[in-house]
Structure 1
Amino acid sequence: MYSTASKGFKKAIEFALWYSSSIMEGFVKYVQWSASAFVLLFVVNIIRQLLPRSKSEPPAVFHWIPFIGNAIEYGMAPYSFFTKNREKFGDVFTFKMLGKNITCYFGIDGNEFILNAKHSDLSAEEIYSPLTTPVFGSDVVYDCPNSKLMEQKRFVKFGLTQKALEDHVPRIEREVVDYVASAPQFRGQVGTFDVSQTCSQITIFTAGRALQGDEVRDKLTTEFASLYHDLDMGFSPINFMLPWAPLPHNRKRDAARNRMRDIYVDIINKRRKSGGEEGFDMIWNLMNCTYKDGTPVPDHEIAHMMITLLMAGQHTSSSASTWIICHLASCPDITEELYQEQVQNLAGGGRLEPLQYRDLEKLPLLRNVVKETLRVHSSIHSVLRKVKKPMPVPGTDFIIDTSKTLLCSPLVTALSDEFFPNTHEWNPHRWDSTKAGGEEEDDDVNEVAISKGTRSPYLPFGAGRHRCIGEKFAYLNLSVIVATLVREFKFFTMDGSRTVPETDYTSLFSRPVQPSELRWERR
């Protein structure tokens, strides 16, 4: 009996050893096969790039890794990637990014070709809808027919009337003053602060008070604070690839969007029931808008448009205001000029009165500081469009077929010495001889650089059918924020140098590398 048990145990051991050996052998073969397959793909990828190309195909940027392509180099430093390959290939070339063929077309011709294209030729919806619709909500922006989007843009534009802008100025100024009075980083006579965090908070509070209304502004420091954070996570870079993935941050995004929609709808219903006096915020404006077919804008669309205004404008404005303060800290002389400009033009009875809309016309340097910052720093470095039908590139043999996504970058031309001498120098005085509309020119800014058309290299708000409708408010908000802060403080870099932070391109919106600490002194 003992002998039989021993034999059974021995066979079990032998079987276990054989089974383990088989698994290990299979695993080794799998690793060998995978490695061979990768090497094969690697070799095929290189050979395909070395084969002769059709004359209709733009030159291609070489890449080593299949599928990944040039994504890492582009994602880490897009502007350097653009300029390096533009010098090598010219204005038109193609690179590979995560399996997609991205064809760049730079220069003023590229700006016009892409930004002024017909909707039937190039589609923004196919590029951006998967990312924006889960954040903004249904039936607005890129989740509706283009004709409906154009109507929605007109609704928002109608809300930015002269009277509304005049009403916004004191609201924005008061918001900044209240923030400075309550923020712990501004206690005392001197101190330091994280400029990115501070400007982000200020811009969302000011835009909230002016555009969103008092009910929404009051919630920005309570319930909306966490909802905004969860919704903002929907702009994570991974969501360009997996916007609908059941990831934790996406579940929070969807819950936050639904909750914010319900809050807006509740505000709308309460306003209708109260019968109170209408104000100048965007909710009142949209409540009174109707589509061309006579249909009033549904409440859920008003809510989703308000979410869009809250989210879309926040990143660009907070980035711009952050860069402005960083440059003022590196150029204290410009900060003092800004302050003295207000003293000379706005002081009444020896003191600065509260800002009014009409005052902004008396502050040309302030306007030029905003313009120059928007030239040097664009929060969106790439504008993408999906090609819907083959498009010949004028003056070349190239034909951009439907397998391509087109990319232009107004940042490339805005940072070109061809149009802006000493282009990388932040110099607000280069705009001194230009009016608000850009009709005049001087030695440092030529006529084409300040034109309003799609051929202009200065397009901080885009151009064509998808030009940003919030341009007027953005200039207003940034100007009042900066003017108010300059009245209160002098800014300096931490080490007293005239340098600004590097640009962080790893998020969807370009911004200064964080954290960015600056020093301040109270006036």
Structure 2
Amino acid sequence: MDLKEIKFMNAGLLFVATLLFVKILSVVLASKGRKRLPPTVKALPLIGGLLRFLKGPIIMIGEEYRKLGSVFTLKVVNKRITFLIGPEVSAHFFKAPEAELSQQEVYQFNVPTFGPGVVFDVDYSVRQEQFRFFTEALRVSKLKSYVDQMIVEAQDYFSKWGESGLVDLKYELEQLIILTASRCLLGREVRDKLFADVSALFHDLDNGMQPISVLFPYLPIPAHRRRDQARKKIAEIFRTIINSRKSEGRYEDDMLQCFIDSKYKDGRGTTDDEITGLLIAALFAGQHTSSITSVWTGAYLLRHREHFSACIEEQKGIMQKCGNGVNHDVLSEMDTLHRCIKEALRLHPPLIMLLRHSHREFTVKNREGVEFDIPRGDILATSPAFANRLPHIFKDPDSYDPSRFATGREEDKAAGAFSYISFGGGRHGCLGEPFAYLQIKAIWSHLLREFDLELVSPFPEIDWNAMVVGVKGKVMVRYTRRRLAVDS
């Protein structure tokens, strides 16, 4: 082979190598530029995703989590719902600013109930100011006065029980919760004079929140018409109460008064309609969740007698230390009872789905290190009901074990932030969490001291058909009155 042939062959090899290099480089660059979308749930075209969702979101999430992992997308008609399950992929869901992930679009179905000009019917800056009103109404100094009212309501309510009897614990606690909520939130006028009327109206308001309301909140169905009529009458009642307080210069220690006195940053005061809407939002946020959690707490304590006994021993110790008087500080010392409530809430969070709307694309990385690009425009969802039972976070996740939250173990913190999300978290964590714990503690500390209790009906089932997932059927309990002895 002469020199000319060698040069020609080298040139050919160089050309081939260059082509190969360009091809490899283009593949690498294309792969970097290509979006890695989450896997999509297999379903029939158009309505298949909706049918899967209506079958039961928790069932669907469980099935797809096992097949597709912690990030997947469900197509519901013309919408994409992308699920982020577990703390490894949900951090941005909880921490992202409103400009990236917002609540307003996905919670519009609340507007007919809460009313115009509040919460999800206003832009983010106004909503943040209104949330500040809630924060001020729930600061510690206010909570202490609310606790005193909770204690009085519990004592008065249970004083009407006999020496022994059989009760539906679910019904009893629902009634007591709305009494305490009425006194602390809605005010003395409602609690003392208008309770029956306002309760009936709130019942119609509550029943106006149907599953179909999420998609079609203004559909002209009977439940929606009753909702709208009730909302109008409630507004009239509170307008009268507000005007009466203002004209008489009368001050009450309740959330209603806090909202009357609240002012926006520009100095403007709250309107009557805004006050009414904020009160309705507060009652909706707290009444169902507290009553449901108080029932689950009781059902588990009465099923697991060792925890029931531990709570009684805690009451004895606190009574020896503080006497029989119960207040905010005393309730705050009830760590054993607190863990029992928290564990019931882990197993049965009333809000099984949390939603956001994505305004910007972002990336998440799962436990295996795989990254997914979440498109702009997706509805994002996470599920406390499913995430709270992940086995890589909670040992024996389906078992009732309050000690998992004890100092030194603290399973809810071992995997990092957002492992326990019964109250949400991050930017939109529940403002009423301290109020809820105090309310349930006030009730159960009284029951533990005053009564022997026995669960006589089967352990309750979950009512998956309710908008706020609660307890299905009655929870029958036999009680016998007694006084807890501190020296026994």
TM-score by length of 1: 0.80
**Residue 479 of structure 2 aligns to a residue in which SS?**
strand
Aligned to 1:338: 311
Aligned to 1:62: 42
Q: Structure 1 residues 71 and 195, CA, compared in 2 at 3 Å: closer, same or farther?
A: farther
Residue 142, structure 1, aligned to residue 120, structure 2? yes
Aligned to 1:507: 466
Which residue, 246, 250, 253 being the options, matches 2:227? 253
Compute the displacement of 1:225 (Å).
1.8
Residue 325, structure 1, aligned to residue 295, structure 2? no
In 1: Cα distance, 2:239 partner to 2:430 partner: 25
Gaps of 5+ in 2: 1-33, 483-488
Aligned to 1:407: 381
The residue type equivalent to 2:151 in the other structure is: E
CA contact (8 A) 1:111 1:409 kept: no
Residue 270, structure 1, aligned to residue 244, structure 2? yes
CA contact (8 A) 1:103 1:405 kept: yes
CA contact (8 A) 2:418 2:425 kept: no
The CA deviation string for residues 55-91 of structure 1, in whole angstroms up to 9 with x for no partner, is 6332111123x43324444444433322321121111
In 1: Cα distance, 2:477 partner to 2:194 partner: 25
Compute the displacement of 1:242 (Å).
1.7
The residue type equivalent to 1:226 in the other structure is: A
CA contact (8 A) 1:76 1:505 kept: no
Compute the displacement of 1:98 (Å).
4.9
Q: Structure 1 residues 165-174 or 68-77, which shifts more?
A: 68-77
CA contact (8 A) 2:178 2:287 kept: yes
In 2: Cα distance, 1:397 partner to 1:162 partner: 42
Q: Structure 1 residues 494 and 270, CA, compared in 2 at 3 Å: closer, same or farther?
A: same
Aligned to 1:358: 329
The CA deviation string for residues 316-365 of structure 1, in whole angstroms up to 9 with x for no partner, is 1111111111112212332232222112221479xx62311121233211
Q: Structure 1 residues 76 and 459, CA, compared in 2 at 3 Å: closer, same or farther?
A: same
**Runs of 4+ deviating beyond 6 Å:** none
Aligned to 1:430: 404
In 1: Cα distance, 2:90 partner to 2:306 partner: 35
The residue type equivalent to 1:407 in the other structure is: A
Aligned to 1:166: 144
Q: Structure 1 residues 264-273 or 402-411, which shifts more?
A: 402-411
In 1: Cα distance, 2:427 partner to 2:412 partner: 25
CA contact (8 A) 1:410 1:457 kept: no
Which residue, 332, 339, 361 being the options, matches 1:390? 361
CA contact (8 A) 1:211 1:282 kept: yes
In 2: Cα distance, 1:112 partner to 1:160 partner: 26
In 2: Cα distance, 1:145 partner to 1:55 partner: 32
The residue type equivalent to 1:109 in the other structure is: E
In 2: Cα distance, 1:220 partner to 1:404 partner: 45
**Residue 95 of structure 1 aligns to a residue in which SS?**
strand
Residue 91, structure 1, aligned to residue 57, structure 2? no
The residue type equivalent to 1:59 in the other structure is: P
Which residue, 159, 162, 178 being the options, matches 1:181? 159
The residue type equivalent to 2:476 in the other structure is: E
The CA deviation string for residues 461-507 of structure 1, in whole angstroms up to 9 with x for no partner, is 11222221111111111111111122232332325xxx732222212
**Residue 159 of structure 2 aligns to a residue in which SS?**
helix
The residue type equivalent to 2:91 in the other structure is: E
TM-score by length of 2: 0.86
Aligned to 1:480: 442
Q: Structure 1 residues 489 and 137, CA, compared in 2 at 3 Å: closer, same or farther?
A: same
CA contact (8 A) 1:330 1:493 kept: yes
Aligned to 1:33: none
The residue type equivalent to 1:86 in the other structure is: Y
The CA deviation string for residues 412-464 of structure 1, in whole angstroms up to 9 with x for no partner, is 3321222221221111222232xxxxxxx32x626445x6xxx3211221122
Q: Structure 1 residues 80 and 144, CA, compared in 2 at 3 Å: closer, same or farther?
A: same
Which residue, 388, 411, 427 being the options, matches 1:445? 411
Compute the displacement of 1:510 (Å).
1.1
Aligned to 2:453: 491
**Residue 222 of structure 1 aligns to a residue in which SS?**
helix
Gaps of 5+ in 1: 1-53, 434-440
Aligned identity (percent) is 32
In 2: Cα distance, 1:521 partner to 1:164 partner: 34
Q: Structure 1 residues 93 and 377, CA, compared in 2 at 3 Å: closer, same or farther?
A: same
In 2: Cα distance, 1:520 partner to 1:237 partner: 37
CA contact (8 A) 1:208 1:217 kept: yes
Residue 420, structure 1, aligned to residue 394, structure 2? yes
CA contact (8 A) 2:162 2:481 kept: no
Which residue, 182, 192, 216 being the options, matches 1:242? 216
Q: Structure 1 residues 505 and 259, CA, compared in 2 at 3 Å: closer, same or farther?
A: same
In 1: Cα distance, 2:429 partner to 2:241 partner: 29
Compute the displacement of 1:522 (Å).
2.7
The residue type equivalent to 2:245 in the other structure is: R
Q: Equivalences for 1:283-298 in 2 at 5 Å?
A: 283-298=256-271
